[in-house]
């Protein structure tokens, strides 16, 4: 960040009075520009014991599989964002269920929040950000071709919870980049 979005002046990086971290500060108008993590929301959609995965049509990780997920928009709840991403990426309507996982992706400055979800029917198709969509048995998940470690963590917890007939919340912190 080089210029203030309030007045257009050049920014400096310093620790503002009363703060403890360096921030972008405008010496002209006094605005402090905070940079905070972005929130990614998604869900694990299920229909008749199968889960839905999408093959990504966009970078990063084009061609790899993931659950429907994306950045939360201003003005929507976590659940609304997860449902919207499901419509956009897989053309499905879901009933968002319980919280499944929260994954802190420190290197990307993101927090990924995933829910359990039930598809309202079995119809699905690729949206503009997906090459294809598929319903899979849990044994058929393409582990080596998953797009993100947060997706793998979430799917593994989903499988464990189903096997133990529980509805737990899971947390993880990831500090690594994919190769």
- What was the pLDDT predicted at 178? 57
- Nearest-angstrom CA–CA distance, 73 and 59: 19
Mean pLDDT of 70-81: 98
Phi, psi values for residue 114, rounded to 5°: -120, 145
- In the CATH scheme, what is the code of domain 38-174? 3.90.79.10
Domains 1-35 and 38-174 fall in the same CATH topology: no
Q: Could you tell me the residue ranges of all domains in the chain? A: 1-35, 38-174
| H helix and E strand count, the chain | 2, 11
Residue 101 makes CB contacts below 8 A (sequence gap 6+) with: 112, 113, 114, 150, 153, 154, 157, 169, 170, 171, 172
pLDDT-derived band of residue 175, with 50, 70 and 90 as boundaries? confident
For residue 116, name the pLDDT band (cuts at 50, 70, 90): very high
CATH code for the structural domain at 1-35:
2.20.70.10
Q: What is the mean pLDDT of the segment spanning 78-104?
A: 98
- Whole-model pTM: value is 0.92
* pLDDT the model gives residue 179: 57
């Amino acid at each position: 960040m080089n210029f203030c979005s309030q007045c257009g002046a050049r920014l400096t990086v310093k620790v503002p009075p009363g703060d403890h971290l360096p921030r972008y500060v405008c010496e002209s108008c006094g605005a402090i520009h905070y940079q905070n993590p972005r929130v990614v929301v998604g869900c694990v959609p299920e229909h008749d014991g199968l889960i839905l995965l999408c093959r990504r049509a966009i970078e990063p990780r084009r061609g790899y599989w993931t659950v429907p997920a994306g950045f939360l928009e201003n003005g929507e709840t976590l659940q609304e964002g997860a449902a919207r991403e499901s419509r956009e990426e897989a053309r499905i309507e879901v009933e968002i269920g319980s919280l499944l996982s929260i994954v802190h992706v420190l290197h990307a400055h993101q927090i990924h929040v995933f829910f359990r979800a039930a598809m309202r029917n079995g119809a699905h198709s690729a949206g503009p950000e997906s090459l294809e969509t598929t319903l899979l048995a849990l044994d058929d998940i393409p582990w080596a071709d998953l797009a993100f470690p947060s997706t793998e963590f979430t799917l593994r917890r989903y499988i464990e919870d189903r096997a133990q007939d529980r509805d737990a919340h899971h947390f993880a912190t990831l500090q690594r980049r994919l190769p």
